[in-house]
Chains A and B, each alone.
Chain A
Amino acid sequence: MTSQTRKDLFKQGAIWAFIAAELVFFSVAGEFLSVSDKAFMDFDNMLLLLKQSAPIGIIAVGMTVIMINGNIDLSVGATFALSAIVLLDSMTWPVFAGLGDWVIPVSWLLALLTGCVLGAINGLIVWKTGVDAFIVTLGSMLGYRGLVFMYNGEQPTSNLNWTLVDFAEAQVLSLHTATWFLLVVTLLIWLLMTKTVHGRNAYGIGNNREAAVNAGIRVGPHFLWNFILIGFLAALSAVVFYSESGSVNPNDGMLYELWAITAVVLGGTKLSGGYGSIISTLGGVIAIQLLRKGLGHIGADTETVNLVIGLILIAVLFLDRQLNRKGKEELKI
């Protein structure tokens, strides 16, 4: 085993070690501090945790792909909200009145299509204008949010479909529907990134764009596909979440981009691109959700969650830098 692969294994294991540490800490601390009489490592509690991880998790998986590319997407929260509105509103359109419950797959398709189109707009702008993805998606974060408001003013859009709610609350093999979506998405994108040419290209472009261009990879269309992918996943996240809740506020999904990026960075993906793992991102998502639940379990104020997550994020960045110090490239001042 070379030192490189050992290092990689260590880094990929780090997030899971962190999760294990969280579990132990909250279980032990919970014995003394907990306000509830249930144990933290309760089976149902863990199932719920996975389910609650799903909305951010599905987006974070897509964000990993974008960040491996060396790009970023700040518009996912707005895409999430707009897809949710299309999902709930299209079920009430008179055109589909005769469909009965068959309206559900149609609405799903429309919502997912919305996500793909919004992603494609971002991708096309990044490709054709050459403007940095950070700026492009910062702009569309505002723009898409504007579209959300224009759709229905400041009113919430609501439509509860009981068939859909039953589907969303179903448990297969005791895992919730949302959890299944999260796991399947993670698996598929993991396969995409590790076993296909597209995935290999993604790492190549993130690592050294110049070299990738010289190797004949068409960078522009590659970016476009990845932005369509994250748009699709943001919409899928909305579909999974709003099938159950049935009502969307125009401010929903705000700051989701920041949560997703936090999860991805906790999972060890490099902002500069070229390095990252889908499975570790899943770890990052679970770690954050555990922290939220755990702090609640030991009776800490919910406010402290923000404080702790922020500081952990900085600590991870610091540790990562210390472990990876190359020495020769670093300028000594």
Chain B
Amino acid sequence: MTALSRQKIGGVLARQGILIAFVVFMVGFAMANQRFIAVDNVFGVIRSSAILGVMALGVTFVVIGGNLDLSVGSMMSFSTIVVLDLHDKVGPALAIPLMFAMTLALGAFIGFLVGYLKLNSLIVTLGMLSAIHGLTLTWSGGKNMDIADKEGTWFAIFGQSSALGIPMPILIFALLAVVLSVLLSKTPFGRKVYAVGGNGTAATFSGIPRARVVFMTYVLSAFCVATAGLMQASRSMGSQNTVGQGLELEVLAAVILGGASLLGGSGTVFKTVIGVLILGFIQNGLLLVGLEFYVQYVVTWVIIILAVWLDIAAKRGRLWSPIA
């Protein structure tokens, strides 16, 4: 085998590493436990990953655009609490659009700060994490929110029903993934997001309205968060104020696992979905072989580091970093 072809194989391994790891992982667990690939188990895993997944779809756009979003977890708590509260006050048909409007307004505010005022996205969304949490607590007075009449409402369809034998959360996740994948890879807007994240200065000089594109990625992310909040509220019909706490970093882990670079300009919706599924199946696989839920944290840690390391090692052509 010549050096060239070996390098090529190495390149393919590194580029598609996440997919290959996923397959190896699935086969391994399936051999260890037959139940792992039973249809109901697979559906169960995707269903429970769907909320995280929907949020990750939006964050993918933000990250490709070269920014971060740490506020999605606390924003999700906000939309869950708001929609549950409004449900009993104005009815579900009005509560849902109102909640979407408010969440989108928050996303637009962040988009304005990061896009038009060009403030650092890490700090802005860190601030908003805290601010939105405060907003949620003020709204609810710190109390849990519950729908009073759980039987007499159609609100449960987003989280608990199923169509064509497929649970609704999976359908929503899949539909959103397809739509956003087309938006990102087939439309001018998608190309602009890549351009802005890849090289903002060059994008500006080519006449791409950088501020507006960044603004739109945050609005899109807020839309996904609102959808996730709706699914969460509908699934549990009641919620604590901290339901989304910590999710922002898990979402980011899924996006990074999918291979999106934090520097922006790379990543796809499909790969993010793979990242989400890997996290979900790891959790499930470890539980099925009888390990406690927290073992997945350690496994996730190792996988994230390995995935990103192999990715950049392939790009620079050597395994170890050149840092002196």
Contacts and interface: CB of A to CB of B under 8 A. Distances in A.
Interface of A: 74, 125, 127-132, 134-136, 138-147, 149-150, 153, 213, 217-220, 223, 254-255, 258, 261-262, 265, 271, 301, 303-314, 317-318, 321, 331, 333
A225 to B, nearest CB: 14
Given A301-B138, A318-B119, A311 B201 contact: no
Chain A binding surface SS class = helix
A271 B312 contact: no
Contacts of B70: 258
Contacts of B262: 132, 134-135
A146 B252 contact: no
A167 B160 CA distance: 55
Contacts of B14: none
B296 interface: yes
Contact of B298 (A128, A143, A307, A308): A143
A254 B209 CA distance: 38
Given A271-B122, A301-B137, 6 more contacts: A131-B305, A139-B304, A220-B323, A261-B126, A307-B134, A307-B138
B134 A219 contact: no
Nearest to B210: A333
Chain B binding surface SS class = helix
A6 B324 CA distance: 36
B124 interface: yes
Contact of A314 (B124, B134, B316, B322): B124
B73 to A, nearest CB: 10
Given A128-B321, A213-B324, A310-B127, A138 B249 contact: yes
Contact of A218 (B245, B250, B312, B324): B324
Interface of B: 70, 113, 117-120, 122-124, 126-135, 137-138, 142, 201, 204, 209-211, 245-246, 249-250, 252-253, 256, 262, 292, 294-302, 304-305, 308-309, 312-313, 316, 320-324
B309 A317 contact: no
Contacts, number: 167
B211 A314 contact: no
B300 A129 contact: no
A255 B120 CA distance: 20
Given A150-B292, A305-B134, A331-B201, A139 B324 contact: no
A313 B124 CA distance: 8
A146 B295 CA distance: 6
Nearest to B71: A310
A306 B134 contact: yes
Contacts of A136: 305
B218 to A, nearest CB: 14
Contacts of A304: 134, 138
Contacts of A262: 126-127, 130
7 contacts: A138-B256, A142-B253, A150-B295, A254-B246, A261-B126, A309-B127, A314-B127
Contact of B132 (A125, A217, A254, A310): A310
Contacts of A134: 262
B324 to A, nearest CB: 5
Given A127-B323, A142-B253, A331-B204, A314 B128 contact: yes
